[in-house]
Amino acid sequence: MPRPKRNIPEANKVPVKRNEKIPPRLLGMKDFVGTEQRAYDFVAGKALELAKLYSFTPVRTPIMETFDLFKKSSRKGADREFYFVEGDKSERVVLRPEITQGVVRAYLENNLGESGRAVRLFSLGSIFRREKMQTGRYREATQFNLEIIGEAKPMAEATLIALAANFFSELQVKCQVQINSLGTAENRREYCSKLLAFYKERGRRSKLCNHCKKNLGRSCLSLLDCKEEECVKIREGAPQLADYLSDESRDHFSKTLEFLDELKIDYNFNPYLVRSLNYYNDTVFEFWPVNDDGSTPVGKLALAGGGRYDSLVENLGGAPTPAAGIAIGLERTMSRIKDKHLLTNPAEEDIVFIAQLGDQAKLKALQLFEELRRAGFNVRQAFTSDSLKQQLEEALNMKAKTSLILGKKEIMDGTILMRDMDSGAQETVVYKKIKERLERREKVVERKLRSNNTNLINKDNHRKEGVYGGF
């Protein structure tokens, strides 16, 4: 009788010797096989599901772009991280280090803004950066990008942050929003002159790390983002950017935070958050992972980041156009998922479209959207549109069965209009009872479907008896 095999401790296992004939994988690149590939598919599927729910339109841009697309919008010295590709003699070609610039180029080249309305675009794909290697960082990574182009109001940032917060929540990934305001370019110029004067005072400059010493004359805001212990100590006494914001930037930021408060999204005002790209203005934000004990991991990598970039469209040759966006890292998100066997997405159901008219109604509608979505209803919206007619046309195009309409009068009365999109009939429902009313409507529809199916079966049996004599 053969002896049973003993379990060999992991530490005593002999490592598998790599076949020298097989070309090695490039440094900073990653294979997805087995469980990791299934996890990737699930995370990507969740991203696509939420993009659809929030009415973002897909766009796919090339992996290779001209270097000119990035050189104006990237920080100084960032081209050292670019992967250059051999192209025609007259052009410099790179593998894209970001997706946003390519989406804005596509927006301009394809005249996506010709309607005059805000455009919501999303993209999912690889980016390439020759970065210093560290845990969780790859030289090829997958980004889920969302852009709202043509919307100047803080509702754009609130929508992006709400979508990302739900993305992480539904994947059971704990994180916190870090948020700050960079103000306008003029605000930053005034602030940087004060900040440089602070760092150049006797005794401070000599204590900075070598990287920060190099940035003193070229990228002053990056001094606030340094993680070196001595640099962190020095910045505690530095002037605050918030003290140099214009009234308009301060008001925009306050409204953004008010929206997050209303939506009960956990955030932390971080005066040292600056982001690494130079096209941002006003609101910037990142999603930082949180441990079970509430702490942020040492040497953290943001799971997502974004903000407002009102000058980028104009810098790339378009008309002045407000815009905001966010990029979510899929590999970083996957590394924080503890349950690899999460349930798959629920089946598609009848669409309930939420329409609104006015700023107050827009915020109330966003709250209702989140409440109904969490309750399992298949809800849609067009919050970037201020025209009720256009919103209802969009509801018809997506074949919504029911539209819920909120306006100033409904908010004052504590009601909401419920319209049947097939018949056009509508009724006024108490706002607090709308979920109950929708549930009752679904039960009626189910009973009708069962009744119709039963009648069809009876008719079919009767026909068979008449024709085939009951056999």
Q: Render pLDDT for 161-175 as a digit per residue (tens, 0 to 9).
A: 999 999 999 999 999
Q: Give the CATH fold of the 35-183+245-336 domain.
A: BirA Bifunctional Protein; domain 2 (3.30.930)
Which pTM value belongs to this model? 0.77
pLDDT digits (tens, 9 = 90+) for 241-271: 999 999 999 999 999 999 999 999 999 999 9
pLDDT digits (tens, 9 = 90+) for 25-36: 888 888 888 878
Identical fold for domains 35-183+245-336 and 351-447, yes or no, is no
Q: Is CATH 3.40.50.2300 the right assignment for the domain spanning 351-447?
A: no
Percent of the chain with pLDDT over 90: 52
Lowest mean pLDDT among 12-26, 240-254, 407-421: 12-26
- Pairing type for strands 402-406 and 351-356 reads parallel
Map out the domains of the chain as residue ranges: 35-183+245-336, 351-447
pLDDT digits (tens, 9 = 90+) for 190-239: 988 888 888 887 678 778 888 788 777 667 788 887 878 888 888 888 88
Element (H, E) at 404: strand 402-406
Angle between helices 434-468 and 359-374 (to 10 degrees): 50
Query: Is residue 426 over pLDDT 50?
Result: yes
Query: What angle (nearest 5°) sits at the alpha carbon of residue 417, between those of residues 412 and 419?
Result: 170
Query: Is residue 445 over pLDDT 60?
Result: no
Element (H, E) at 58: strand 57-58
DSSP SS3 for 273: coil
pLDDT at position 444 is 61
Q: Are 56 and 68 in contact (CB under 8 A)?
A: no
Phi, psi torsion values for 382, nearest 5 degrees: -145, 65
Q: Are 100 and 325 in contact (CB under 8 A)?
A: yes
